[in-house]
Amino acid sequence: MLQGLFQPMHLLVLLIIVLIIFGPGKLPELGGSLGKAIRGFKKAVSDIEDHMRQITDKSESGEKKADER
């Protein structure tokens, strides 16, 4: 279904459509907003991974203490 979706000609057509819709003046602003959104998403994923890692570390250390008794 998605085979060959990202061929150079398809990307060129998409770029032309985006230029028509947003205009060349809005593209840098649009790119900056997209970059901020991606950085925010990556930070949120990283924060969740750190939180989950802390929970599993606490859980494992609690199990080790229980095994020592």
Phi, psi of 2 (to 5 degrees): -100, 15
Residue 34 lies in a domain: yes
Per-residue model confidence as pLDDT tens digits over 20-67: 998 888 888 988 999 999 999 999 999 999 999 999 888 877 766 655
Task: Report how far residue 54's alpha carbon sits from residue 48's, in angstroms, rounded to the nearest whole number.
Answer: 10
Residue 48 lies in a domain: yes
Split into its structural domains, the chain has a count of 1
Question: What is the DSSP code string of the chain?
Answer: --TTTT-HHHHHHHHHHHHHHH-TTTHHHHHHHHHHHHHHHHHHHHHHHHHHHHHHHHHHHHHHHHHH-
- Domain containing 59 equals 8-68
Residue 52 lies in a domain: yes
pTM for this entry: 0.58
